[in-house]
C-alpha cells in the first residue's frame, strides 16, 4: 500500500514538465509489476488522480486496474471511467506509453460489447484514435476496433471520417487487414461500392506470407462487390499480389468464383438457380444479402447495355431482352435506375416506350472545372510524395548495398563489397 | 434495285445462249465452258466435269468426300463409281476397300470387291518395295548422292501411291540431305507439300513453301504459282482469310492445269474471291481483285464469283447475296471450304450490312430489310449484334424502326477518360504506398529477428 501511495504522490508531483514526465515514466515502468499485483485495490486511488493532468500515471493505474476479469456491473463503471479518461487525457503523455493506451482502449471495447451497447463506445474511440495518431496517415491498432464498433452499432457515418483519410503508415499488418475489411463492410453498408472495392482490394493484394482468414473473407466480398460495381469479377489477382494469395485464394472461395462465372454468362435464370442451390453456404458467410444485390445488379447491367444500342425501345422489348417477367417490372426497374442516376431516359407511358438520352454532362460548368482542378492538385501532391519516397529509398544504405552487390561486374573494382562507383 | 436485277438476268441468258465468254469476249464454245464451269449456280454439281479438273489422289478424295456429304443418292453413286474407276487405275488397295464398302453392291457386279486385283496389287507392291530397298542399300554403300536421292524419291512415290502418307513424307524429307542443286530442293519441297496437303498437316506446308521460296534461282513461274496456291491453302485452313486471299490473288496465270494434283484454277478463283470479299476493305478489294488483270482470267472461270464481287462493290446487295446462296450447296461439297462456308458467308453478310449503313445519317430499316431480303425483326437483331460489337456506330429507334448514325462526342469522351485515369492513378499510387509501407514493416521485423 505504501508503495502505491508513494507512487500516487510522485505522479501528482512529476506530471508538469516534460522532463519530469520522462522520469515519471521510468518510475512507472519499474513499478508496473507491483501495480499489477495490487490490481484489485487500486480503484480508490484513481479518484486521487486527475486524468487531465496526470494522464500517464492515470493510464498505468487504469491499465493495472482493468487487468483482471470484469463482471457486467463493474463493466458499467469502468466504461464511464475510461470514456472520461479518453476525453480528457493529454495526447503527448499517453503517446509515451502507446501500448498501454491501446490495451486500455481494447478492454474498453470489450466491456462496451459486454454491455451490448456498442454505440457508447463510438465517440470515445474516435477521440482515442485522434489522440494516439502521430499523423492522419498513421494507422493505429485502434482503427479496426473503432470500425468494429461502428459496424455493430450501425453508426456508419462516424466511420466515414476515418475511412476518407489516406493511410500510409502502418503499425501492424493485422491492423491493416482488419481495418480494410471492416472499412469495406461499412462502405458496402452505405453503398459506396467504389470505396469498398478499393479497401477490399488492399486486403487481397497486401503482402502476406501465408493466407489468413481475413483475406479469404475479404476476397469473397471483393468478388461480389466487383460484380455489383463493374459487372465483371476479377479473373486474376494483379501481379503485385503475393504469390501465396494468387495460388490459394481462389481455391478457398470456390462457390463465389462459380457465381461470378455464371454472372458473366448473362443468363439470369442460371444465376438464380445457382444462388438457390448454394444458399446455405452464402448464408453461413453472412453474404446472402450481398449476393442478392449482385443478382439484381445483373438486370441493371443488361438495361445499361441496351442504352448503347437503342434510342427508343418498348417496355415489352426491354422485358424480353432482360428476361424480366412483364413490362410493368421493366418499367419499375428503369424508373429506379433513372432515379439513382444510373441511366438517362424518359418513359412515355402512352406508347409504352422508353427513350434513352445521352449523358447531359457537358463538362462546361464551373463546378466541373473546379473538380478537375482539385483532382490535378491532389494528384500532384501524391506524385511528389511518391518521388520523395523514391529518393529516400535510393539513399538507404541497405538498399545500396544490395543493389551494389547485384550489379554487373565488368571491372576488378566491381568486386568490392561496398559500391565505390554507384551508377544510377 | 429491281432494274439492276432485271439487267443481270438477260446478261446471264445471253452468255449461256450465245456461248460468248465474259467481258473480254474471249471465244469459248459451250461445251468447253461447261467443262470449265462445273459449279453452275442453282444446279447440282456436274460430277464428271468437276472430277475432270483434278488428277491423282486428290481426285479420289474429292469424289469420296462428295459421296459422303451429298444428299442426292444419284450423285452419290455417280461419285462412288468414278472413284472406283480412278482407284482401279492406281495402286491404293486401302482406298479401294473403303470405296467398295461404301458402294455396298448398289452399282452392280462390276463394282463389287475384286479380291484378286487387291492381292495382285499387294503382291506387286511387296516385290517393288523389296527391289527399291535393295537398290537403295546398294546406292547407300556406294555413297552416290544423286542415286540415293532418287532412291528415296522413288520410295516416297511408292508409298504415296499406296496411301502410306506418313512414310511417303518421311522418305521425301530424307532426300533433303542428298539434294545438290536447287532444282532438287524445289522438287523435294513440292513433294513434301503435296503429301502434307493430303495428310491435312498444313503447318508443314507453310514451312516447306518458305523453304522453296528461299531458292529463287530455280523457281520458274508455274512453280511460283504452285507455291502461292499451297501457301494460300495453308492460310485458308488456318482460318487466316486475309492472308489466304492475298496469296490466291498472287497466283499467276501460268498455273493453268499444272497443279491438278492439288487445286484447280476454278478453286483459286473461288477461294481467293470469297476470302477477299470477307476480309478486304473496299480499297483493297478494288485494287487487288477488281483491277487485278491476272486474277481476271481466273474469275472468268467462275463468272458467278465475279458477278457477286462486282455486285458487292457496287452495293447491289440483294443480288450479291442471291449468288452466294446459290453457290452455297456446291461449295459445301468442297473438301477445303466446307467447314468455312458459314463463317465466310457471315462475314460477307456483316460487311454488306456495315457498308450499307456507312454513308447515311439515318436509315429506314424497312427499306434496308427489303434490300437484304430479310424481315425487319431479323434485321434489327443482326444490327443489334453489330452495334454491340462496335462495328456500326449507330442507334436503333425501335419505335419508328429507324437507324440513326451516332458519332461519339470526342470532347466529352476525353473528359470522362481523363477523370477516370486520374482516379485510377490516385487509387493505385495510394495502394502502392500502403503496400510499400507493409513491406518495410515486414523487412524490419525480419531484420530485427536476425539480430
Among the listed ranges A58-62, A414-418, B403-407, which one has the minimum average pLDDT value? A414-418
- B204 contacts: CB under 8 Å, gap ≥ 6: B169, B192, B193, B196
Q: Is the pLDDT of residue A300 over 60?
A: yes
The C-alpha cell of B183 is what?
Answer: 532444282
Q: Tell me if A379 and B436 make a contact (CB, 8 A cut-off).
A: no
Are both B309 and B378 inside the same structural domain? no
Please report, rounded to a whole number, the percentage of residues in chain A having pLDDT higher than 70: 95
Cα A11 to Cα A4: distance, rounded to the nearest angstrom: 10
**Any B CB within 8 A of A320 CB:** no
Pick the residue from chain B with its C-alpha nearest to A197. Answer: B427
Our CA-based measurement puts residue B171 at a distance from the nearest CA of chain A, in whole angstroms, of 49
Give the per-residue pLDDT at A317.
Answer: 86
pLDDT greater at residue A136 or residue B334:
B334
Among the listed ranges A174-178, A374-378, B11-15, which one has the minimum average pLDDT value? B11-15
Our CA-based measurement puts residue B199 at a distance from the nearest CA of chain A, in whole angstroms, of 38
**Residues B112-126: tens digit of each pLDDT:** 788 888 888 889 989
Is residue B300 one of the residues assigned to a domain? yes
Are both B344 and B269 inside the same structural domain? yes
**Residues A82-102: tens digit of each pLDDT:** 888 888 887 877 787 888 888
**Residues A22-62: tens digit of each pLDDT:** 777 787 887 777 777 777 777 777 777 777 777 777 788 77
Are both B292 and B372 inside the same structural domain? no
What pLDDT band is residue B451 in, cutting at 50, 70 and 90? low
Cβ A197 vs Cβ A225: under 8 Å:
yes
Q: Is the pLDDT of residue A142 over 60?
A: yes
What pLDDT band is residue A387 in, cutting at 50, 70 and 90? very high
ipTM for the whole complex? 0.81
pLDDT greater at residue A267 or residue B27:
A267
Angle formed by the axes of helices B341-357 and B376-388, to 10°? Answer: 90
Q: Tell me if A375 and B437 make a contact (CB, 8 A cut-off).
A: no
**Residues B187-219: tens digit of each pLDDT:** 888 889 989 988 888 888 899 988 888 887 777
Our CA-based measurement puts residue A173 at a distance from the nearest CA of chain B, in whole angstroms, of 6
Mean pLDDT of B285-294: 87
Are both B244 and B342 inside the same structural domain? yes
Give the per-residue pLDDT at B37.
Answer: 41
Pick the residue from chain B with its C-alpha nearest to A311. Answer: B397
Are both B283 and B368 inside the same structural domain? no
Q: Tell me if A170 and B438 make a contact (CB, 8 A cut-off).
A: yes
Half-sphere exposure of A327 toward its Cβ, with a 13 Å CA cutoff? 12
The C-alpha cell of A164 is what?
Answer: 476518407
Give the per-residue pLDDT at A374.
Answer: 92
Are both B387 and B337 inside the same structural domain? no
Q: What residues of chain A lie within 8 A of the CB of B437, using their CB?
A: 168-170
Mean pLDDT of B13-23: 39
Considering only the beta carbons, identify the residue of B388, B429, B438 that sits closest to A173: B438
Closest CA to A59 of A86, A78, A37: A86
Mean pLDDT of B52-77: 85
Q: Tell me if B429 and A386 make a contact (CB, 8 A cut-off).
A: yes
Give the per-residue pLDDT at B421.
Answer: 93
Phi first, then psi, for residue A83 (nearest 5°) are -60, -45
Q: Give SS3 for B27.
A: coil
pLDDT greater at residue B387 or residue B35:
B387
Among the listed ranges A239-248, B80-89, B159-168, B441-450, which one has the minimum average pLDDT value? B441-450
**Any B CB within 8 A of A386 CB:** yes
Please report, rounded to a whole number, the percentage of residues in chain B having pLDDT higher than 90: 12
What does the mean pLDDT of chain A come to?
82
Residue in A313, A363, A372, A392 to test binding to B, most B beta-carbons within 10 Å = A363
DSSP B288: I
How many Cβ atoms are within 10 Å of A214's Cβ, its own excluded?
A: 20
Please report, rounded to a whole number, the percentage of residues in chain B having pLDDT higher than 70: 90
Give the per-residue pLDDT at B5.
Answer: 40
Q: Is the pLDDT of residue B17 over 70?
A: no
Cα A134 to Cα B254: distance, rounded to the nearest angstrom: 86
Domain that holds residue B246: 238-349
Give the per-residue pLDDT at A328.
Answer: 87
Give the per-residue pLDDT at B4.
Answer: 40
What does the mean pLDDT of chain B come to?
83
Q: Is the pLDDT of residue A210 over 60?
A: yes
Q: Is the pLDDT of residue A350 over 80?
A: yes
The residue count for chain A: 424
Give the per-residue pLDDT at A415.
Answer: 61
| Structural domain count, chain B | 2
Our CA-based measurement puts residue A358 at a distance from the nearest CA of chain B, in whole angstroms, of 10
What pLDDT band is residue B293 in, cutting at 50, 70 and 90? confident
Pick the residue from chain B with its C-alpha nearest to A389. Answer: B433
Place of cell 479496426: A144
Q: Tell me if B434 and A176 make a contact (CB, 8 A cut-off).
A: yes
Give the per-residue pLDDT at A418.
Answer: 55
Q: What residues of chain A lie within 8 A of the CB of B410, using their CB?
A: none
Are both B367 and B328 inside the same structural domain? no
Q: Tell me if A313 and B398 make a contact (CB, 8 A cut-off).
A: yes
Give the per-residue pLDDT at A376.
Answer: 93
**Residues A121-138: tens digit of each pLDDT:** 888 888 888 888 887 788
Is the CA virtual torsion A396, A95, A185, A190 positive or negative? negative
Our CA-based measurement puts residue A354 at a distance from the nearest CA of chain B, in whole angstroms, of 9
Helices (H), A213-365: 213-230, 243-252, 254-265, 268-277, 279-284, 288-309, 315-321, 327-339
Our CA-based measurement puts residue A422 at a distance from the nearest CA of chain B, in whole angstroms, of 23
Mean pLDDT of A356-377: 88
Considering only the beta carbons, identify the residue of B411, B412, B435 that sits closest to A240: B435
End-to-end CA distance of chain A: 65
Is residue B429 one of the residues assigned to a domain? no
Our CA-based measurement puts residue B277 at a distance from the nearest CA of chain A, in whole angstroms, of 27
The DSSP H or E segment spanning A375 is helix A366-395
Q: Is the pLDDT of residue A119 over 60?
A: yes
What pLDDT band is residue A383 in, cutting at 50, 70 and 90? very high
Q: Is the pLDDT of residue B323 over 70?
A: yes
Mean pLDDT of A339-346: 86
Q: What residues of chain B lie within 8 A of the CB of A167, using their CB?
A: 434
CB pairs under 8 A between A and B: 97
Cα A191 to Cα A162: distance, rounded to the nearest angstrom: 17
Cα B307 to Cα B317: distance, rounded to the nearest angstrom: 11
Q: Tell me if A359 and B412 make a contact (CB, 8 A cut-off).
A: yes
**Residues B364-390: tens digit of each pLDDT:** 999 999 888 889 989 998 998 999 888
Place of cell 450490312: B353
Considering only the beta carbons, identify the residue of A206, A311, A358 that sits closest to B435: A206
Q: Is the pLDDT of residue B3 over 50?
A: no
- A303 contacts: CB under 8 Å, gap ≥ 6: A318, A322, A333, A334, A337, A343
Q: pTM of the prediction?
A: 0.69
Phi first, then psi, for residue B319 (nearest 5°) are -70, -35
Q: Give SS3 for B296.
A: helix
Considering only the beta carbons, identify the residue of B395, B422, B442 that sits closest to A310: B395
How buried is A326 (Cβ within 10 angstroms: 0-12 exposed, 13-18 middle, 19+ buried)? Answer: exposed
Amino acid at each position: 500500500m505504501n508503495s502505491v501511495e508513494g507512487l500516487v504522490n510522485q505522479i501528482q508531483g512529476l506530471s508538469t514538465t516534460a522532463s519530469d514526465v520522462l522520469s515519471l515514466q521510468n518510475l512507472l515502468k519499474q513499478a508496473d509489476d507491483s501495480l499489477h499485483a495490487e490490481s484489485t485495490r487500486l480503484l480508490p486511488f484513481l479518484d486521487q488522480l486527475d486524468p487531465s493532468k496526470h494522464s500517464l500515471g492515470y493510464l498505468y493505474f487504469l491499465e493495472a486496474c482493468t487487468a483482471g476479469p470484469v463482471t457486467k456491473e463493474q463493466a458499467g463503471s469502468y466504461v464511464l471511467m475510461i470514456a472520461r479518461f479518453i476525453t480528457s487525457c493529454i495526447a503527448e503523455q499517453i503517446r509515451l506509453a502507446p501500448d498501454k493506451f491501446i490495451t486500455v482502449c481494447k478492454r474498453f471495447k470489450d466491456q462496451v460489447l459486454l454491455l451490448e451497447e456498442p454505440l457508447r463506445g463510438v465517440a470515445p474511440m474516435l477521440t482515442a484514435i485522434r489522440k494516439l495518431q502521430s499523423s492522419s496517415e498513421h494507422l493505429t491498432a485502434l482503427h479496426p476496433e473503432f470500425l468494429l464498433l461502428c459496424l455493430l452499432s450501425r453508426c456508419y457515418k462516424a466511420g466515414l471520417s476515418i475511412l476518407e483519410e489516406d493511410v500510409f503508415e502502418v503499425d501492424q499488418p493485422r491492423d491493416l487487414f482488419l481495418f480494410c475489411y471492416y472499412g469495406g463492410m461499412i462502405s458496402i453498408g452505405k453503398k459506396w461500392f467504389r470505396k469498398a472495392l478499393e479497401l477490399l482490394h488492399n486486403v487481397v493484394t497486401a503482402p502476406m506470407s501465408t493466407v489468413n482468414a481475413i483475406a479469404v473473407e475479404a476476397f469473397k466480398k471483393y468478388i461480389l462487390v466487383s460484380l455489383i460495381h463493374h459487372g465483371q469479377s476479377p479473373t486474376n489477382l494483379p501481379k503485385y499480389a503475393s504469390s501465396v494469395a494468387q495460388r490459394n485464394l481462389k481455391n478457398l472461395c470456390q462457390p463465389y468464383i462459380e457465381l461470378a462465372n455464371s454472372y458473366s454468362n448473362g443468363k439470369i435464370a442460371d444465376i438464380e438457380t445457382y444462388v438457390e442451390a448454394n444458399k446455405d453456404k452464402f448464408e453461413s458467410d453472412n453474404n446472402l444479402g450481398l449476393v442478392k444485390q449482385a443478382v439484381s445488379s445483373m438486370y441493371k447491367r443488361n438495361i445499361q447495355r441496351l442504352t448503347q444500342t437503342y434510342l427508343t425501345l418498348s417496355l415489352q422489348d426491354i422485358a424480353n431482352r432482360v428476361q424480366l417477367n412483364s413490362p410493368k417490372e421493366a418499367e419499375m426497374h428503369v424508373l429506379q435506375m433513372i432515379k439513382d442516376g444510373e441511366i438517362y431516359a424518359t418513359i412515355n407511358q402512352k406508347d409504352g416506350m422508353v427513350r434513352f438520352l445521352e449523358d447531359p454532362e457537358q463538362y462546361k460548368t464551373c463546378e466541373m472545372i473546379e473538380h478537375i482542378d482539385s483532382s490535378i492538385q491532389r494528384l500532384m501532391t501524391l506524385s511528389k510524395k511518391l518521388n520523395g519516397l523514391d529518393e529516400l529509398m535510393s539513399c538507404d544504405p541497405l538498399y545500396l548495398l544490395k543493389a551494389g552487390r547485384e550489379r554487373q561486374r565488368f571491372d576488378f573494382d566491381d568486386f568490392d563489397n561496398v559500391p565505390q562507383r554507384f551508377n544510377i | 434495285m429491281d432494274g439492276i436485277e432485271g439487267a443481270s438476268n438477260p446478261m446471264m441468258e445471253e452468255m449461256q445462249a450465245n456461248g460468248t465468254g465474259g467481258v473480254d469476249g474471249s471465244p469459248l464454245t459451250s461445251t468447253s465452258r461447261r467443262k470449265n464451269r462445273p459449279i453452275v449456280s442453282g444446279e447440282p454439281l456436274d460430277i464428271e466435269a468437276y472430277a475432270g479438273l483434278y488428277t491423282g489422289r486428290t481426285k479420289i478424295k474429292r469424289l469420296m468426300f462428295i459421296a459422303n456429304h451429298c444428299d442426292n443418292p444419284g450423285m452419290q453413286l455417280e461419285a462412288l463409281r468414278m472413284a472406283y474407276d480412278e482407284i482401279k487405275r492406281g495402286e491404293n488397295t486401302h482406298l479401294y476397300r473403303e470405296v467398295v464398302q461404301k458402294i455396298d453392291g448398289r452399282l452392280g457386279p462390276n463394282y463389287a470387291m475384286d479380291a484378286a486385283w487387291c492381292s495382285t496389287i499387294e503382291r506387286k507392291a511387296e516385290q517393288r518395295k523389296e527391289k527399291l530397298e535393295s537398290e537403295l542399300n546398294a546406292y547407300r554403300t556406294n555413297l552416290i548422292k544423286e542415286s540415293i536421292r532418287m532412291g528415296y524419291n522413288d520410295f516416297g512415290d511408292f508409298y504415296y501411291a499406296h496411301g502410306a502418307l506418313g512414310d511417303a513424307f518421311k522418305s521425301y524429307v530424307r532426300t533433303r540431305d542428298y539434294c545438290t542443286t536447287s532444282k532438287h530442293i524445289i522438287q523435294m519441297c513440292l513433294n513434301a507439300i503435296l503429301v502434307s496437303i493430303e495428310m491435312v498437316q498444313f503447318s508443314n506446308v507453310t514451312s516447306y513453301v518458305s523453304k522453296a521460296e528461299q531458292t529463287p534461282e530455280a523457281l520458274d513461274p508455274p512453280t511460283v504459282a504452285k507455291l502461292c496456291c499451297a501457301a494460300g491453302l495453308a492460310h485458308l485452313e488456318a482460318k487466316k482469310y486475309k492472308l489466304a486471299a492475298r496469296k490466291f490473288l498472287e497466283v499467276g496465270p501460268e498455273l493453268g492445269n499444272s497443279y491438278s494434283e492439288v487445286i484447280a484454277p476454278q478453286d483459286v478463283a473461288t477461294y481467293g474471291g470469297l476470302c477477299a470479299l470477307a476480309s478486304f476493305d473496299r480499297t483493297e478489294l478494288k485494287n487487288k481483285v477488281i483491277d487485278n488483270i491476272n486474277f481476271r482470267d481466273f474469275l472468268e472461270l467462275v463468272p458467278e464469283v465475279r458477278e457477286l464481287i462486282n455486285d458487292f462493290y457496287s452495293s447491289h446487295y440483294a443480288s450479291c447475296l442471291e449468288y452466294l446462296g446459290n453457290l452455297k450447296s456446291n461449295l459445301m461439297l468442297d473438301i477445303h471450304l466446307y467447314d468455312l462456308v458459314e463463317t465466310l458467308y457471315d462475314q460477307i453478310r456483316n460487311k454488306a450490312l456495315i457498308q450499307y449503313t456507312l454513308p447515311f445519317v439515318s436509315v429506314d430499316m424497312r427499306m434496308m430489310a427489303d434490300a437484304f431480303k430479310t424481315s425487319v425483326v431479323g434485321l434489327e437483331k443482326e444490327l443489334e449484334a453489330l452495334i454491340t460489337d462496335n462495328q456500326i456506330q449507330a442507334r436503333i429507334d425501335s419505335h419508328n424502326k429507324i437507324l440513326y448514325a451516332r458519332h461519339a462526342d470526342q470532347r466529352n469522351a476525353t473528359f470522362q477518360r481523363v477523370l477516370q485515369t486520374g482516379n485510377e492513378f490516385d487509387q493505385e499510387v495510394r495502394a502502392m504506398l500502403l503496400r510499400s509501407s507493409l513491406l518495410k514493416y515486414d523487412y524490419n521485423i525480419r531484420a530485427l529477428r536476425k539480430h
